Every structure is written in C-alpha cells, then in structure tokens.
Amino acid sequence: MNIGIPRERRPFEYRVGLSPAGVEILAQQGHTIFVEHEAGAGAGFSDNEYEKIGARIAYSPEEVFGRADLLLKFSRPLEDEISWMHPGATLMGMLLLAAARRSRVDVLLEKKITAIAYEQIESEKGCFPVLRPMSQIGGQMTAQIAARWLQSDLGGKGILLGGIPGVPPAEVVIIGGGVVGQNALIAFLGLGAHVTLLDRDMAVLQRIYDRYPETVTMISTRRNIDRACAFADVVVGAAHIPGGRAPIVLTRETLKMMKPRSLLIDMGIDQGGCFETSRPMSHDQPTYIEEGLIHYCVPNVPSLVARTATHAFVNAAMPYIMKVAALGVEKAVTKDPSLAMAVNTHQGALRNLHLWNAEGGK
C-alpha cells in the first residue's frame, strides 16, 4: 500500500502523523511510504532519519496526498489538503469533525474518502486508547499553563499555585474526572494547589477520593459548579463527549460570579469548547479577557511537547495503522469493532452519529 505522511500545515501544529520508528515498521512489512520534506522537523525528526529506514522523501504536498492510498495525518486536513487527496483514499488522523465546518465534511463525502478519527477508536472496555496519551499530556500541562498565567507580569492574580507557610495555595476547580481531569489533578496536587474536582459519575468521584483523599469531590450539578467556581483562582474545563461537541459546563452567569482575573483553561476547545465564552486561540495569542476573567483556549496544547506527543501517539495508534495498511480499510473495519467505531465517512456516507445529530438528522 502507498502510505503518505504530510507536513502538518495548521499553525502551531508541531506533531507529525508518524515517527521514523513507525515508518520503519511499515516499510519492513512491504509498504511504500512517502514522507513530505521536513514533515517531522517540528518534532525533531529529520528527513535523513526517515530516509535511512526506507521512506521516500517527497518535495511537494501534492505528491504525498496524491500518491497516498492511506494518508496518516495528525490534525484535521485543511481545505487545500482535502482537494489534493484522490477519490476513495483513506484518511486517519485526530479529525474532530464534529467541530469542523460542514463544507469540509461535504468534500470528504463527495470524494468518497474513508475518514477514521483516532480519537473515536474505542476498546471493548469503553476506553479510547489513541486519544488517551494526548489527554494525559494535555491534562498534565494544565498545571504549568496555570502557573504561568497566574503570574503578575502576564496579567494574572500573582498567585503561587502551592502557596507557602502562612499563605494559602491557589484554589483550583476541575470540571470532568476523565483522563484529562485526572492528569490535571495529579499535576496540580504535585505543585501543592488545593483542588476541587466535579464529575457527574459517582464512581469516578469514589476513585478520585480513594486515590487522592486531599481532593474535594462534588457531583457536577449547576449549583455545585457555581459554588466551587465562586472561590476559584483556576478553573479547568475537562468535560468530553467522544466524537461529539464538548458540553457547555460554565455559563456566562457563572463567570459573572467569579473573582476578577481568575484563569479559565478550556481543554475541550478542540471540540467546540466547554465554556459559554470560549473561542479558539493560538499559541502566539493564547489568552483573552472576557467578563474580567483570563481565558486560555488553545486547541492543540500537546503540540507544545511535539516529540513526546508524537512518540506517545504512535505507541497507541500503531496497531490500528498496521491493521488498515495490511488488510485494507474494509476488512480492517469488519474485523476490528474498535476501528469501526471511528469511521466518520465511508463511500460517500456519513457514519458518525454525533455528526449526523449535529445536522438535525440529515
């Protein structure tokens, strides 16, 4: 099979669709891999590293997209990139199509492209093995983001997360006890912050309580969210609906009750955002002020540690990539229900329930 690894063109996306280690495995299995010139540069992988283990370096994106029967990207393709793909090709990536423009989905349908979203690959146990490492990284990074944007020189409240003797630590509220929320919790506790975590699932709260008894746990109701956020210095939005738009967990009314210059970190912004006032920003302009609060709403937080993120992603995604490459998409999806759950478009048809519902059942 011809496999393409393009350079990511979204601003501040430093990760790459496959590391040299992953390319080597596919090359040894007899596949032909086209890697675009400097595709891995953002993650510290040189063309030479790819070339010496069997990849062919391509010097135009049109060649990579046009030759690929299987295209391995990291982020959702841009409009030009979709136009370069040949009809009937297979695309694998962190697609997050529920947050995409409908016009992009329409082109995938028109070209009969099979789009497999890594973030929707779901195991029999209800876990999301490829999304998980990105969620772990993103969750852990919330604490260092908060530590920076609480600084006075950046307009923050001038608070040290862990406090010191005689001065209390920062009050941190995490909404959502999934992988992002739990990793954020670990990071904030490690820095000495006082953390309150809210989730709708009592079993999740029980696990948090058993492992981290110093954490305040609350059922995620509107009343409890309002109570917790009224005292918060930092709020992390970590609510998530697999394959769908993130739920709105903070309303503008709640924000109006919060202390001025508190920091909001929306980790659901990749999927539309979980605060009513959220809008996507970028790494060069990551924050804005609304309702007197600092909003940090950057979609691709793990990209800031691109090498770690790429290695972690490939470790998780490689079994599924190998299966599609070896069997073809039809057989792979038939044999692996986990892959079948991640098919968004196929043969001109919409296969994702969340995308279907977003269009009013069309």
* Model confidence pLDDT, tens digit, residues 69-100: 999 999 999 999 999 999 999 999 999 887 77
Using the predicted structure, report yes or no on whether residue 293 has a pLDDT greater than 80: yes
Q: Which CATH architecture has domain 2-121+311-358?
A: 3-Layer(aba) Sandwich (3.40)
Average pLDDT, the chain: 93
Look up residue 357 and give its amino acid. Answer: N
Q: pLDDT confidence of 273, banded at 50, 70, 90?
A: very high
Tell me how far apart the alpha carbons of residues 71 and 321 are, in angstroms, rounded to a whole number. 10
The domain locations on the chain are: 2-121+311-358, 131-299
Spatial CA neighbour of 186 closest among 328, 263, 177, 319: 177
Q: For the structural domain made of 131-299, what CATH number should be given?
A: 3.40.50.720
Integer Cα distance of 81 and 36 in angstroms: 13
For residue 299, count other CB atoms closer than 10 A to its CB: 22
Radius of gyration over every alpha carbon of the chain, rounded to an integer in angstroms: 21
In angstroms, the CA 270 to CA 13 distance is: 13
Neighbours of 223 (CB within 10 A): 9
Give all strands of the β-sheet with 114-117 in edge-to-edge order: 56-58, 32-36, 2-5, 70-75, 90-94, 114-117, 343-346, 349-350
- Residue 358's pLDDT band (cuts 50, 70, 90): very low
- Residues 6 or more apart whose CB falls under 8 angstroms from that of 7 comprise 16, 36, 37, 38, 39, 41, 61
Residue 209 in this model has a pLDDT that exceeds 70: yes
Token pair in block for residue 11? 């601003």
| Fold match flag (2-121+311-358 vs 131-299) | yes
Task: State residue 359's pLDDT score.
Answer: 45
SS3 per-residue string spanning 301-325: HHHHHHHHHHHHHHHHHHHHHHHHH
Q: How distant is the alpha carbon of residue 283 from its chain centre?
A: 15
Q: Which single residue is written with the structure tokens 């953390």?
A: 195
* Bridge partners for 33 per DSSP: 3
Question: Most distant CA pair in the chain: distance in Å?
Answer: 66
Q: What tokens appear for 343 in the block?
A: 């098919």
The pLDDT of residue 360 is 37
Query: Going along 221-342, which residue ranges are E strands?
Result: 234-237, 263-266, 287-290, 293-296
Candidate from 21-35, 58-72, 116-130, 195-209 with smallest mean pLDDT:
116-130
Compute the 3-state secondary structure of the chain and give helix, strand, coil in percent, each to the nearest 5: 40, 20, 40
The answer to whether the Cα torsion of 311, 269, 204, 190 is positive or negative is positive
Average pLDDT of the residues in 146-168 = 96
d(CA 254, CA 175): 13
> Average pLDDT for residues 131-152, to the nearest whole number?
96
